[in-house]
Amino acid sequence: MGKRTEYCGKISRDLLGQEIVLKGWVQKRRDLGDLIFIDLRDREGVVQIVFNPTFSKEALAIAEGIRSEFVLEIKGRVVERKEAVVNKNIATGELEIEAYDVTVLNTSKTPPFYIEDGVAVSDDKRMQYRYLDLRRPEMTQNMILRHQMTKSIRHYLDDQNFIDTETPYLTKSTPEGARDYLVPSRVHPGHFYALPQSPQLFKQLLMGAGFDRYYQIVRCFRDEDLRGDRQPEFTQIDIETSFLEPEEIQAFTEELLAKVLKDTKGVELTLPFQQMGYDEAISRYGSDKPDVRFGLELVDVSELVKESSFKVFSGAIENGGAVKAINAKGSASNYSRKDIDALGEFVSVYGAKGLAWLKVEEDGLKGPIAKFFKEDAEALIEKMEAEAGDLLLFVADKKSVVHDSLGALRSKLGKELGLIDESRYAFLWIVDWPLLEYDDAAERYTAAHHPFTMPKESDIGLLETDPGKVYAQAYDIILNGYELGGGSIRIHKRDLQEKMFKALGFSKEEAEEQFGFLLDALEYGFPPHGGIALGLDRFAMLLAGKENIREVIAFPKNGKATDPLTEAPSLVSEAQLSELSIHTTKIED
């Protein structure tokens, strides 16, 4: 019959009375004998098709054999529906198509689940039949949203003179805290490529090449233990620039994000974004990626309780720890003793040995530990800005445990108490990061971001004397409590890079072995440079209003790093392994 003239979902009043050709899938069919209705679906939406003997006996006869998910070509005329049967749930609901010609382009078995939003089916089944899952309008829309985002990102960066440059996927392992995926070389037996955890060094080399402004929307690979928002492969918006200060990099990043929000969600963000020092974020929110859409801030009561007769509190402080508390405003009556015990269980996962609590009533503090705070009750109430009906929750421990546990508790309570305005996009910069973190297990410093991060100019002297005190020229961008991305100014001189490797415990030989090519490169006129990398999957997930990046990836892996559709990874032939000069020491059942 010929070319499609319209998408189903785009049929509008402008087409009233016109002949059109549609191609799409049968969403639903209702057979009233001499009258058959079909909802025909394509990626843009759904429209109702009507068959009856007046329009075409032949078409009606064919329509009788049609089932769900058959692929049809329809020729017909756009007409208005009667007022009584207008369907306000779909964009085309005031119209329908009188069909006088139909061709079945393909048949379909009954799908294993309904092709509709909010379907109740296991994630693995959805992935096994991903081609059906992606037909569901919300999934199609998620993928279109993702494309609109990358389009918007590219337009912005293209307009700003960035050069989109591809970097290799078969490359050398760069230790950045996660395991590498390795690829055995056939040509060089016993040797391996690594899939990149990020193109960090290549983008720095491109700055050395004078490219000035680079970007790439690029796949990255980390063989990590999987969690809800992690995948073996993920996509990064990777950016690097020369000659810019952190503030300039942050400024264009804000413009970029604002454009994406505007183009895809019609949301106007207010620039510049809020900035917060790392130390302040940890202190106030117990997190380096706080969700600032709600309060429940951590209050340090250490001063107040350091001489308390409640030994759990005073003891923690004596041991160099702290006591902090959250005021769950007006929640005293919502949490029973049992509920609070459950919160105690929750924080124990983060290492907290207990969760102390007090309820504020008209006549003072109540609860098992209230007796210890008779004298300090008023001061405590004032410090916590508490009033009758509030629930105060305390953790006393070493500082990292206090922050981790109360930070997590804060997030949990924020959701439970409905304090979060889900319509808001709260962007936040976390700045003034420490350069290094001490790894107790390894008994050495590790890079808080990566080993190429530039220290604050004023702290460079400390790198050799007191490395734990050095701050970095680094900045993370947070959206609604998720780390959307991070960046830094990089080291551009060999001597400083060598000092950094030394601070990280590399011997001269190890540094040379792993990063000799970078150290050599830094001797040939590298410009001052820095950049940022943003997680596209997580960004798309947040704009799609989802809680797992699988919802915005066309063909994701499941929690066991397996693709239920293709069944990758799979066994391969001995001949293939032999050509690669490897064999396997263990085969899983």
Q: Please report, as residue ranges, which positions from 223 to 262 form the binding site for a second copy (by CB under 8 A).
A: 223, 232-233, 235, 242-243, 248
Determine, following the binding rule CB under 8 A, whether residue 4 of this chain makes contact with a second copy: yes
For tokens 């001489």, the residue is 307
CB of 321 to a second copy, least distance (A): 36
**87 touches a second copy by CB under 8 A:** no
Asked whether the beta carbons of 47 and 9 are under 8 A apart, the reply is yes
Adjacent-strand bridge partners of 76: 20, 99
Question: Cβ neighbours of residue 534 under 8 Å, at least 6 residues apart?
Answer: 236, 237, 239, 253, 477, 484, 485
Under rule CB under 8 A, residue 3 binds a second copy: yes
What CA–CA distance (Å, rounded) separates 306 from 317?
Answer: 6
Chain residues 463-492 in contact with a second copy, contact rule CB under 8 A: 492
Stretch that binds a second copy, among 69-77, 316-324, 371-379, 440-448 (CB under 8 A): 69-77
- 588 lies in the binding site for a second copy (CB under 8 A): yes
Q: Which of 11, 36, 41, 426 binds a second copy (CB under 8 A)?
A: 41
Counting contacts by CB under 8 A, is residue 452 touching a second copy?
no
144 binds a second copy (CB under 8 A): yes
Instruction: Compare residues 41 and 449 and give the one whose CB is closer to a second copy.
Output: 41
- Kindly write out the interface string for residues 516-555 of this chain, putting x where it contacts a second copy by CB under 8 A and - elsewhere: -x---x-xxxxxx------------------------xxx
Q: How far is the CB of 47 from a second copy (least distance, A)?
A: 14
CB of 571 to a second copy, least distance (A): 6
Peptide bond into 434 cis (omega under 30): no
Distance between CA atoms of residues 424 and 426, nearest Å: 6
CB of 135 to a second copy, least distance (A): 5
**Closest approach of Cβ 151 to a second copy, in Å?**
6
Q: Which of 119, 143, 379, 417 binds a second copy (CB under 8 A)?
A: 143
Strand 274-277 versus strand 298-300 pairing type: unpaired
80 is in an annotated binding site: no
322-328 β-sheet, strand order:
298-300, 322-328, 391-397, 356-361, 364-366
Contact 478, 430 (CB under 8 A): yes
Q: How far apart, in whole angstroms, are the C-alpha atoms of residue 178 and residue 158?
A: 32
C-alpha to C-alpha distance for 396 and 568, rounded to whole angstroms? 47
SS (H, E, C) 109-154: CCCCCCCCCCCCCCHHHHHHCHHHHCCCHHHHHHHHHHHHHHHHHH
Q: In the window 411-430, what residues touch a second copy (CB under 8 A)?
A: none
Widest CA span in the chain: 92
By CB under 8 A, residue 353 contacts a second copy: no
Is position 185 an interface residue for a second copy (rule: CB under 8 A)?
yes
169 makes contact with a second copy (CB under 8 A): yes
| Residue list 193-212, contact with a second copy (CB under 8 A) | 193-195, 201-202, 205-206, 208-212
